[in-house]
Structure 1
Amino acid sequence: MPTDATVSVELGVPYGPGKLLDIYRPDSSPGPLPTVLLWHGVGPDERDVLATLATAVAGYSLTVVVPDWRSDAPDGGGAHLLASLAFTRERAAALGGIGEDAIVLAGWSRG
């Protein structure tokens, strides 16, 4: 069951050339939180479609990172996905997370 905590959202954080992500965090937490990197499906730059899900997940006392990526890029979006993973790993602790060893990757379709 999710906590009753409210969630703060930091929108449009740059993580790579021309790429943005959103960060969802509970307003209060007992300490560092596990981090979820949440990838959207095949549609290009659709981080906004995950807002409701990311808010709900953050309500379980998790930090949630939701990047845009473009499946229509020449490499199928691989560079964007890897850049979002690198950003999340490098900054997990600063984002309120436990650190790079406590990241869960979630997605669906091609995410």
Structure 2
Amino acid sequence: MKTFEYAPGRSVDLYGETGAPVVLLWHGMQTDSRAAVRPLAERVAEHGYAVLAADWNSHAADNGRSDLLTSARYAAEQPGAGDGLIVVGWSMGGAAAAGLTFGAVGYGVRIAHTVCLAGAFMAPDPISGDPLTPPSAAGARVPMTLVHGSADDVIPVTAGRDFAAEAGAAGWRVQYIELAADHANIVGARYDAAADRYEPADDAASLAVAAEVAGIVAKPPVR
């Protein structure tokens, strides 16, 4: 793992080798918590990807818009991004990933596949600030995979199910997958109640879930 800056003072960790197909991975609402998604990033990289896990600040005045768009454009400039980014977002990062996908043309970012993990779709899009309502696909070619844990007690599974149905009705190519996972271990994280933070997990069960999710990210989307 190597750490770089995608903008002054804003960090991103690279897992895997430069030049491999690029996966951009966004953590959730917790500010600058790229370390929490390290187990998932490591396992996706094992499938032959260059994974960029970027910090972003949902509590900034712009709700993280600048961090999200700047990190996306940084990822898009990497050598392996020529065929488009795989954008993976967890929780609020999942909402941001969906928002980036819906507005990709306007944002100037090419996306090959979007994966939302336990997406907080009931919240406003952190990028636009608007309600996260799937627009008409109108010829958009970006497939989306929504993954939710059946034991998630933070974002209810109905959020993923309902959003998948809404996006599908709007013409988006959506695959919905439900796993035996909770809100944290879907990315290989654990919740530290004393610190009120998500941290990378090290137990076998959580890492097994992260490996399963990595396989979903690495698998070509349903066309």
Q: Which fold has the larger relative contact order, with Cα–Cα distance below 8 Å and residues 6 or more apart in sequence?
A: 1
Give, as a single letter, the amino acid of the residue that structure 2 aligns with 1:56: R
Partner of 1:102: 84
Among all aligned residue pairs of Structure 1 and Structure 2, give the percentage whose two residues are the same amino acid.
Answer: 38
Offset, 1:16? 1.1
Give, as a single letter, the amino acid of the residue that structure 1 aligns with 2:87: L
- Contact conserved, 2:2 with 2:13, CA < 8 A, in 1? yes
Name the CA distance, whole Å, in 2 between partners of 1:59 and 1:26. 10
Offset, 1:84? 0.2
- Contact conserved, 1:21 with 1:67, CA < 8 A, in 2? yes
Partner of 2:162: none
Structure 1 unaligned regions, length at least 5: 1-8
Give the secondary structure class of the aligned counterpart of 2:6: strand
- Contact conserved, 1:26 with 1:59, CA < 8 A, in 2? no
TM-score (norm 1): 0.78
Give, as a single letter, the amino acid of the residue that structure 2 aligns with 1:10: K
Offset, 1:26? 5.1
Larger C-alpha radius of gyration, 1 or 2?
2
Q: Give the root-mean-square deviation of aligned CA atoms.
A: 1.6
TM-score (norm 2): 0.40
Partner of 1:76: 63
- Contact conserved, 1:16 with 1:83, CA < 8 A, in 2? yes
Structure 2 unaligned regions, length at least 5: 94-223
**Relative to total residues, which structure has the larger strand share, 1 or 2?**
1
Name the CA distance, whole Å, in 1 between partners of 2:37 and 2:16. 14
Give, as a single letter, the amino acid of the residue that structure 1 aligns with 2:8: P
Q: What is the number of residues matched between the two proteins? A: 93
| Runs of 4+ residues deviating >4 angstroms | none
**Relative to total residues, which structure has the larger helix share, 1 or 2?**
2
Q: How does 1:1-111 map to 2 (within 5 A)?
A: 9-11=1-3, 13-25=4-16, 32-90=19-77, 92-93=78-79, 97=80, 99-111=81-93
